[in-house]
A and B are shown apart, each in its own frame.
Chain A
Amino acid sequence: MKSGLGTLRRCFEGAVPAIISTCDENAIPNVAYLSQVHYMDEEHVALSFQFFNTTRRNILVNPTATILLMDPVTAEQYYLHISYLETVSEGPLFESMKARLAGIASHSGMSEVFQLKGSDIYRVQRIEPIPGALPLASPPTPNLLPALRRAIARMAACQDLSDLLEDALTCVAQEFDMPHTMLLMLDAAGKKLYTVASRGYHHSGVGSEIGLGEGIIGVAARERVPIRIGHCATEYLYGRAVRESYLQRHAAIDIEMSIPVPGLAKSGSQVAVPITLGERLVGVLYAESPQEMRFSWDDEDALVSLSDYLALAITSMERCSEHTTEPPEEGAAPVKGTGNPVSVCFYSADQSVFINNDYLIKGVAGAILWKLLCDHSSLGRDEFTNRELRHDTSLRLPDVVDNLDARLILLQRRLTERCDSLAIEKTGRGRFRLRVDGTLNLREAVG
Chain B
Amino acid sequence: MSAIARGPLLLTNDLVDFMLGPISMKAGSCSMARVPSISQAYGCRVSPAIHEAGASEVCVFLSESRSAAVLRDLRDGGAFSVVFSRPATHQTVQLKAAAVRIEPLHDGDKTLIERYGQRAMGELISLGYPPSFSKAVMAPDITDGVSVCFVPYAAFDQTPGAGAGQPLGASV
Contacts and interface: CB of A to CB of B under 8 A. Distances in A.
Q: Do A and B bind each other?
A: yes
B40 A28 contact: no
Contacts of A72: 133
A133 B81 contact: no
A32 B83 contact: yes
Contacts of A32: 83, 94, 158
B157 to A, nearest CB: 11
A19 B26 contact: yes
Contacts of A33: 83, 85, 92, 158
Contacts of A21: 28, 30, 36-38, 81
B132 A66 contact: no
A28 B30 contact: yes
A68 B37 CA distance: 9
Interface in A174-233: none
B27 A31 contact: yes
- Looking at chain B's contact residues, the main secondary structure is mixed
B160 A136 contact: no
B68 to A, nearest CB: 8
Contacts of A62: 34
A445 interface: no
Interface residues of A, number: 41
Interface in B67-88: 68-69, 78-83, 85
Given A53-B164, A66-B35, A75-B136, A28 B79 contact: yes
B83 A136 contact: no
B1 interface: yes
B108 interface: no
A419 interface: no
A140 interface: no
A258 interface: no
A278 interface: no
A77 interface: yes
Interface of A: 16, 19-33, 51, 53-54, 62, 64-68, 70, 72-73, 75, 77, 79, 81, 108, 110, 113-114, 130-133, 136
Given A64-B34, A66-B35, A136-B136, 12 more contacts: A20-B38, A21-B36, A23-B79, A27-B32, A28-B96, A29-B81, A31-B81, A66-B69, A108-B90, A110-B160, A131-B68, A133-B140
Interface of B: 1, 26-32, 34-40, 65-66, 68-69, 78-83, 85, 90, 92, 94, 96, 132-133, 136-137, 140-141, 156, 158, 160-161, 164-165
21 contacts: A20-B38, A23-B30, A23-B36, A27-B31, A27-B78, A28-B1, A28-B30, A29-B28, A31-B26, A31-B82, A31-B83, A51-B160, A53-B164, A64-B36, A66-B35, A68-B39, A73-B133, A75-B137, A77-B66, A110-B160, A114-B160
